[in-house]
A and B are shown apart, each in its own frame.
Chain A
Amino acid sequence: MVSIGGIEIKTPLALAPMAGVTDVAFRTICREQGAGLTCTEMVSSKALCFQDKKSIPLLKLGDGEHPAAAQIFGSDPVCMQEAAAIAHQVSGADFIDINMGCPVPKVANSGDGSGLMRNPDLAVKVMEAVVRGAGCPVTVKFRLGWDKGSINCVEFARAMEEAGAAAVAVHGRTKVQMYAGAANWDWIREVKKAVRIPVMANGDVFKPEDAPRILKYTGADIAMIGRGIFGNPWLFAQCRAALEGREIPPMPPLSERCDTAVRQFELSAANKGEKIACLEARRHYAWYLKGVPHAGYYKEQIVKITTLEDVYRVTKGIKRDLC
């Protein structure tokens, strides 16, 4: 079994951190389906250092959500050290994860996220500072490099290991690619060969068989799943079956999927309040209904949801007309 910094990961399947998507409610649902490692959405180190209270709820873990990481981003070592300490204390997470892969211009152009891949010396200082501040093992997630002419993930991974990282997660695309094109798993394999710490392979796991395939292809220790999980937490149970050589369980019927969605929104409402939870539920519910025939009318209803009562009403209609 793989262990990161002495902490065992029982199922080698991680849920990729995704801002605006993988909140505590959705992570709870994914864990029920077998995710072995989860991570908070990314939180700005500056917000933490400036004691901006809004970012604190993002760091909250679910009941029994372990092992889990709290992810922070930033490029000022002093601020990152302090943010790591705060994030660990507030979240009680097992790991602090540093985001060195975010390609969003607002983040990367100010030198944070994937911006650090263009400045490996500073990235090392950031890693060392976070290791000093965190009080727990530190992991880091990054990409292949800035663009295709400057792929440096192998040296970068080595430098991170040297600076004290307990594991690395590699998304097989460059910053410039954002999410376009196919993820390149060859480079992830090269990273795995170059370091002794565990490697998480990330990029384009969309089907159950992709999980064993990415692990076999890259030799990585953990498969990390992102967009494939939108509205489909059952992918975890399916990937797990595929890894264990069991028959792949089918997706549950639509009515059960709706029940799961509703439970997610209730959990979210308990955490963030009904109003915010319902506004965010619009996007999630649309994902849950992706590919369902004749759902057009209900998709229009979904974008008007503002209360849990609306959620229940729409769900009742879906079950009556579409199941």
Chain B
Amino acid sequence: MKQSTEIRPAREADMEAVGRLYTDSWQRTYRGLIPDWVLDEMTPEKSRDKWTRYREQKENGLFVLERDGAVAGLAACRPFPERENSALLDSLHVAPEAQGSGWGRKLISRAARWARESGFRELVIFVVQGNRRAEQLYRGMGAKELYFFHDPVDGAPSWALAWEDLEALEELGDRN
């Protein structure tokens, strides 16, 4: 059976599903990497509200991966005023059932397009130390190290990485 999958801008009606996906994904991926109290405080409702507000800010970009009518991935991007002409890929998640098919890469590529069309020259992403799969994916796609820091909210040691060639990054999404 052929499945229909696409990446598109998130809609109001997606927000419940986005809240669930985000909460699940954090609690699964970050256990042991980010303090328990941060993870245990998260709920699908709080996450839904967070992404609803995020989407309402017109300078932000929020995209979902839709697979057979269900939300199976998320990419969130916004301006990153700490640096010049810089955008931040704030959040990137792919549901377990959609993993392993390159959708993470396609979501990153979509974010790169958003960043380029919004006039930015680089795309930054933070990765928690110990999240090896994600780090390998980003570095494999050409992300360069900017700096190392501890997240001020949860204290997690993290890398800031950046892609400088947005067009090249966009093209990586076209490959299968």
Could you tell me which A residues sit within 8 Å of B by CB distance?
A: 19-20, 41-42, 44, 46-47, 50, 52, 54-55, 58, 102, 104-107, 109-110, 178-180, 276, 279-280, 282-283, 303
Contacts and interface: CB of A to CB of B under 8 A. Distances in A.
Interface range for B: 20 to 34
Contact of B148 (A55, A107, A178, A282): A282
Contacts of A106: 153
Nearest to A46: B37
A280 B147 CA distance: 7
Contacts of B173: none
B53 A303 contact: no
Given A52-B35, A276-B157, A44 B152 contact: yes
Contacts of A52: 35, 37, 155
Contact of A47 (B37, B78, B82, B148): B37
Contact of A179 (B50, B82, B149, B154): B82
Ranked 9 nearest A-B pairs via Cβ: A50-B37, A279-B148, A54-B155, A178-B81, A19-B152, A283-B147, A20-B149, A52-B35, A55-B155
Q: Is the interface of B mostly helix, strand, loop or mixed?
A: mixed
Contacts of A19: 149-150, 152
B149 A109 contact: no
Contact of B154 (A44, A110, A283): A44
A42 B152 contact: yes
Given A19-B150, A276-B157, 19 more contacts: A19-B152, A20-B149, A41-B152, A42-B152, A44-B153, A44-B155, A47-B155, A52-B37, A52-B155, A58-B155, A102-B152, A107-B153, A110-B50, A178-B81, A178-B82, A179-B82, A276-B148, A282-B148, A283-B149
A44 B150 CA distance: 12
Interface of B: 35, 37, 41, 50, 53-54, 78, 81-82, 90, 145, 147-150, 152-155, 157
A20 B150 contact: yes
Contact of A303 (B41, B145, B155): B145
A54 B36 CA distance: 12
Nearest to B90: A105
A102 B152 CA distance: 11
10 contacts: A20-B149, A20-B152, A47-B154, A102-B152, A107-B152, A179-B82, A276-B148, A276-B157, A280-B148, A282-B148
A109 B53 contact: yes
Contact of A282 (B78, B82, B147, B152): B147
| Centre residue among B54, B149, B152, B155 by max chain A CB count within 10 A | B152
